[in-house]
Amino acid sequence: MSLTMGFLFLFLFLWVLGVKPDTLPPSPCQFPAIYNFGDSNSDTGGISAAFDPIRPPYGQAFFHKPSGRDSDGRLIIDFIAEKLKLPYLSAYLNSIGTNYRHGANFATGGSTITRQNETIFEYGISPFSLDMQIVQFQQFKSRTGDLYNQVKNTPEAEKLPRAEEFAKALYTFDIGQNDLSVGFRKMRFDELRAAMPDIINQLATAIQKLYREEGGRSFWIHNTGPIGCLPVNLFYVSNPPPGSLDEYGCVKAQNEMAVEFNTELKDRVIKLRTQLPEAAITYVDVYAAKYGLISKAKSLGLADPLKVCCGYHVNYEHIWCGNKGMVNKTQVYGGPCKDTSMFISWDGVHYTQAANKWVADHTHNGSTSLVDPPIPITHACHRH
């Protein structure tokens, strides 16, 4: 049978089944690298390399030692790398023993989309805001290109990206949570709401710059999670006002603000698809995935979602994960729980590896309710 006849029979077979050729799923993308921008939700060692290293028991569940991650193990970005069959990302700021052949991570704990005016770390904020992360990426791309040309015939070249692969890479974003959390402390809700369009516009500007100036084409964008469900919100609150918490103990007003932010972000992503005609931009509803996990905690046999695995938080005495402190004249260690896989919150602010994996499993496969367009991350280079 000729090749032409074979295609004809295939076409007729699909037509009988009611499957049109143009609706067949595209082939998986061959992403050679991942370039990530974000905060502590996806930081794989940036803030730890720049300032004080993260200490034990962080990292114990997978790396068996601190790995620069604010978790007991892997983050969602690590599960993205696994899904795409790529190595875990090295932090851009970690200059020792790094391999950038398959991407780099510019995220740092405490990062915001917008630059903050207050003293660094007054609110736990990183100096590496999103615009600085984009500048770092541009420097990275330029300098690794020059270096590769110098060492391309040596073993050192195996640790460097290829210039032609930047356009084929996946660009991931997980940032915005700290813009809201700082806003909750510094601003009235109406002021924060008024600031949201500018915050989102700055994120859109970063994507546009990567597209227009650096050749990026595939973007995977997480929205912000249910901030009101972070246990830290209730650490210093003895009597929450009646009606301020939802059925799971989350601060309703903060979650409502996060939902507003995410709605505006999704609208901006839709607009970007028109403005950047060659880009494949996927919006990922991490909020829904995380809140879904929290709401299902009891049925899944997990601990109370507002209960913290690592640290000592009893009767408004707080010793953070990995630290020691005095309680009633006795030294107490803020150590980890016995089984971290039973908890959603690792340290009151960040998620456990088990929770991160659950969220990854419910977003990376392209659930129609959590990913727009509804495609798995393995196909995120295709426009819809």
- Burial degree of 157 (CB within 10 A; 0-12, 13-18, 19+): middle
Given 222, 313, 350, 364, which residue is catalytic?
Answer: 350
Strands 218-222 and 170-174: parallel
Backbone angles phi, psi at 154, to 5 degrees: -125, 165
Q: State the sign of the Cα–Cα–Cα–Cα dihedral 130, 380, 261, 123.
A: negative
What amino acid is encoded at 10 in this protein?
L
Q: Is 72 part of the annotated catalytic residue set?
A: no
Q: Is 40 part of the annotated catalytic residue set?
A: yes
Q: State the sign of the Cα–Cα–Cα–Cα dihedral 195, 200, 205, 206.
A: positive
Q: Is 347 part of the annotated catalytic residue set?
A: yes
Gap between the Cα atoms of 352 and 61, Å rounded: 9
- HEC sequence for the chain: CCHHHHHHHHHHHHHHHCCCHHHCCCCCCCCCCEEEEECCCCCCCHHHHHCCCCCCCCCCCCCCCCCCCCCCCCCHHHHHHHHCCCCCCCECCCCCCCCCCCEEECCCCCCCCCCCCCCCCCCCCCCCCHHHHHHHHHHHHHHHHHHHHHHCCCHHHHHCCCHHHHHHCEEEEECCHHHHHHHHHHCCHHHHHHHHHHHHHHHHHHHHHHHHHHCCCEEEEECCCCHHHCHHHHCCCCCCCCCCECCCCCEHHHHHHHHHHHHHHHHHHHHHHHHCCCCEEEEECHHHHHHHHHHHCCCCCCCCCCCECCEEEECCEEEECCCEEEECCEEEECCCCCCHHHCCECCCCCECHHHHHHHHHCCCCCCCCCEECCCCHHHCCCCC
Given 39, 179, 285, 347, which residue is catalytic?
Answer: 347
| Catalytic residue numbers, as ranges | 40, 347, 350
